[in-house]
Amino acid sequence: MFTLPQNLRIAHESSTLMTSFTVLGGPSSEQLARKVASKLNSKYIGCQLRLFPDGESKITLNGKPKGRIIVVQSVYPPVDSNLVRALAIISQAKKYSSHVYAVIPYMGYARQDREFLSGEVVTMSLVTKMLKTAGASKIVVVDIHSMMALKHFTIPAKNVSAIEELVKYFKKLHLKDPLVVSPDMGGIERAKNFANLLGVDYIALEKHRDRKTGEVAIKSSEHHEVRGRDLILVDDMISTGGSIVKAAEFLKRQKCGKIYASCTHALLIGDAEKRIRKAGVTKIISTNTIPGKTSIIDVSPVIVKAIS
């Protein structure tokens, strides 16, 4: 049997090791991380989380990773805790590999990407520095709130979209003359992409948000084209649900058909889901960037595509 010389064997083993992956699943994204590992045919290692009485988090890896390491940890509420946990896992992963991919499916603080009012801290800039310092060599995020936030990174950072996966779901529904609707003008490109993939038309409502109070109001005039049609309200995230509620109430007054709310990240803070349904939304469809009752769409395929 042919045997490689020792020096070539070591080089071969090193090459094989560095092209393989180990996926570390953070406490906020364990199930999604398992799906990523499965699709990459890679080893999965979970983490143990211990909370101290004062609120501190203690993370322990359940094994020793090898090769390139993928850390999957969403930074949703409690945002600060999940961010520190992500940093801790990345820091530990760095001890085993110089190639650490930080997959942050939901990137907290992405809305704080610029100084809107005088004196505001651009927290996103600090977050990017912390991720780099912790040891992340590359970043992958899913439908980040704004591309401006992505520009704060000084290491390679890639934003992937869940729109195609969401559209696949709606293609299976029997909707009546469907129309895609963005709840504000800022999301018009997202609505356009969604509509093009679905093969339908789209519109955008004109929204105003008070920067100090957060109060939302729809400024659009009547939209007669929605009458009798099933609508898909498309957004990147639903937090308190204020924008979706106002949009749904406005559209219902226009005598539309059923309303579906579709988003990548369903935070659904407090009684948001209840208020959205009360406003006339038939169903909320979101992805597993944030686990929950509405997160029925799997984003692991787009994450794996971005990595591999």
List, for residues 234-262, the tens digit of each pLDDT value: 999 999 999 999 999 999 999 999 999 99
Domains identified in the chain, total number: 2
Residue 293 within a domain: no
Give the amino acid at 164: E
Residues (pLDDT < 70) of the chain are 1-19, 209-217, 219-220
Q: Are residues 246 and 303 in the same domain?
A: no
Range of the domain at 37: 6-161+299-307
Distance between CA atoms of residues 98 and 34, nearest Å: 22
The DSSP secondary structure of 59-83, one letter per residue, reads: EEESS---SEEEEE----SSHHHHH
Distance between CA atoms of residues 183 and 234, nearest Å: 7
Q: Are residues 40 and 177 in the same domain?
A: no
> Which are the contacts of 262, defined by CB distance < 8 A and separation ≥ 6?
166, 170, 194, 232, 233, 234, 235, 284, 285, 286
Residue 131 within a domain: yes
Backbone φ/ψ region at 5: left (φ over 0), alpha (ψ -120 to 50), beta: beta
Q: How far is CA 5 from the centre of its chain?
A: 47
Res 207: pLDDT: 73
pLDDT, tens digit, for every residue of 170-206? Answer: 999 999 999 999 999 989 999 999 999 999 999 999 8
Single out the residue of 91, 99, 94, 109 nearest to residue 152, CA to CA.
Answer: 109
DSSP one-letter code for 154: S
The DSSP secondary structure of 162-175, one letter per residue, reads: -HHHHHHHHHTS--
The catalytic site residues sit at 207
Q: Are residues 84 and 148 in the same domain?
A: yes
